[in-house]
Structure 1
Amino acid sequence: MTPRSGRQLHIAASGYRATIASIGASLRTLTYDGRDLVVPFDADEVRPGYRGVTLAPWPNRIVDGRYVFAGVNHQLPLTEPERGQALHGLLAWAEFADRSVSDDRVVLVAVIEPQAGYPFRVEVEVEYRLGDDGLTQAVTARNLGGDSAPWGTGPHPYLVAGEGRVDDWTFTLPASEVFTVTPDRLSPVALEHVDVHPEWDFRNPRTIGDTLVDHAFTGLGRDGEGLAEARLQAEAGTRVAISWNEHCSWVQIHTADRPDRPDVHRIGLAVEPMTCAPDAFNSGAGLVVLDPGATHRASWRIRAL
């Protein structure tokens, strides 16, 4: 029987191994020389906490599930009912089909069909590739419909630096601005400089400790190739990094706080590069407008250091 997380696609190269689950085109496992770089989940497990899922056609939240696009009001299903938000897009539980499978690379594809709240047809192609430089994921959207469509994407890995938990790890994030949110619903409030919120300033490496983070960041510092990179280091010195290109101008960081579940409380740090801001369908911050026939591609890379 097919496992609860879907078909299992295994790739390997250069000391890296990854398993991709077909439901949600999810990164189920990623290891380097046998050590976890992301929090894994079992093949026959309903994927917990959006671990490794591909987020599309929007990452993060749309407040109240409502937005206006091209002068038309839309209402999405509230997939985060406890906060009254539309969370993480429409493909989290979609079955992706194989487009190409080899020893070190898989390409999966699904189509978002027109539906209540998102009356657009968009093909979503997800590529995972392993090499000396780690695991590269690329998401390509193609508008198959006759109307322009709002679009955003991103991944949802929970990074693992090594032994210990989030509190024990040192984090580096070259971001100068943070989006503050309401404490109850996590709705965006204001974009502020991290100088005003030193608890969320990780421009210089420091231990996360008991800091709670569930915020989007921007104002990203980039290298000569246009890449921004976040790094996580365990006390023993093992490290993991995720980098992303200029198509992702935002990143969501979440310390995965679950005090009601000691087994999963702060066992990984969610680092989610995003092409747009939270609630971008309303604010327009970073929102991509896909014209009929147009494509958009964004990518990011996870590697051991």
Structure 2
Amino acid sequence: MARPPASGIQHALRAGDYEAVVASVGATLRSLTYRGRDLVVPFEADEVRPAHRGATLAPWPNRVVDGRYSFGGREFQLPLTEVARSHALHGLATWLDFEAIDKGPDHVTLAALIQPQTAYPWRILVTTRFSLGPDGLTQTVTALNDGAEPAPWGTGPHPYLVAGDGRVDGWTLELPAAQVLAVMPDRLIPTELTPVDAEDPERFDFRSPREIGRAEIDHAFTGLTRGEDGVARVRVTDAAGSGVEMSWDAACPWVQVHTADKPDPAQSRLGLAVEPMTCAPDAFNAGSYDYDAGLIVIEPEASVTASWRIGAIA
């Protein structure tokens, strides 16, 4: 039997002008195109996924500071997976091999079980559906608490959006967020929630669309302005006006935006990470902050759902 590629079993989807490939390891969106144009930064099937590019983040997105948290009167220590900053990064599901439980030409549903373990002693069934349609790719994530105790939870995706040719610097960003979470510059530990126009509006205030330029961003935003349909929309466009839109509903009150700055200039700022999140960074320590970090607690045998969409701006 042939061995699968490094990124796992490949699930190719197609609908109209859209094509996508979802890899089973980490329930990862490996590629998404519209009329042959990349909407996310792709990678090869037989390549170990670069960091968390396109992965499904669960049971927490972003960071748990120092990997330490308390819940239900107990203290826990997670493995430190962001070694340089000494944090637990992006959950436990990003390297799980998800199994396809339903598949068609334009959709696939994947599932994996987060088993109880010392640092996270809850059994969570994670199910995610990727579906292509006329408006792009919709991903829905559902978590079922298959245990006897309440469990802390958060989720989100990790795509790097591509507006067109070139790199992040020349693209225009529209980000309808009124607040940004300030962080310590060395370890990105959250400190306080501030208005986007308070201290460094050139870096953080994109409520009116403008060019990203040399702004370096790796921050969480909230206070999202939503349309009458309750949906928040982030748009990234190139000089010609084409690009990509990411949208989500009230299940995700936060969004992390990252300009993908890397030490190697050849690999730096290839795409803009836009990560809708059900909770803030370090939400497992929500009690340490004076704002609502949005930690979800799933009761036994209960489930919660969140979804988002990526579509082309033609």
TM-score interval (norm. to shorter): over 0.9
Give the 5 Å matches for 1:115-194.
Answer: 115-194=117-196
The Cα offsets for residues 168-215 of structure 1, whole Å up to 9 and x where unpaired, read as 000000000000111111110110001113020000000000000000
1:15 to 17, 34, 56: 17
Instruction: Read off the aligned partner of 1:222 and give its amino acid letter.
Output: R
Equivalent residue, structure 2, for 1:204: 208
Q: TM-score, normalised by structure 1?
A: 0.99
**Superposed displacement of residue 36, structure 1:** 0.0
2:275 to 266, 272, 275: 272
Q: Is the 8 A contact 1:111 1:123 kept in 2?
A: yes
Q: Is the 8 A contact 1:20 1:27 kept in 2?
A: yes
1:97 paired to 2:99: yes
Uncovered stretches (5+) of structure 2, i.e. residues with no partner: 288-292
1:222 paired to 2:230: no
Q: Is the 8 A contact 1:163 1:236 kept in 2?
A: no
1:283 to 277, 281, 286: 286
The Cα offsets for residues 93-146 of structure 1, whole Å up to 9 and x where unpaired, read as 100001101000000000000012100000000100000011000000000001
Question: Partners of 2:45 and 2:165 in 1: how far apart?
Answer: 23
Question: Partners of 1:184 and 1:44 in 2: how far apart?
Answer: 34
1:240 paired to 2:244: yes
1:302 paired to 2:310: yes
CA RMSD of aligned residues (A): 0.7
Q: What SS does structure 1 have at the residue aligned with 2:285?
A: helix
Question: Partners of 1:40 and 1:263 in 2: how far apart?
Answer: 15
1:69 paired to 2:77: no
**Superposed displacement of residue 263, structure 1:** 2.3
State percent identity of aligned pairs: 59
1:6 paired to 2:14: no
Uncovered stretches (5+) of structure 1, i.e. residues with no partner: none
Q: TM-score, normalised by structure 2?
A: 0.96
Question: Partners of 2:11 and 2:77 in 1: how far apart?
Answer: 35
Question: Partners of 2:231 and 2:267 in 1: how far apart?
Answer: 31
Equivalent residue, structure 1, for 2:257: 253
Aligned residue pairs total 304
Runs of 4+ in 1 over 6 A off after TM superposition: none
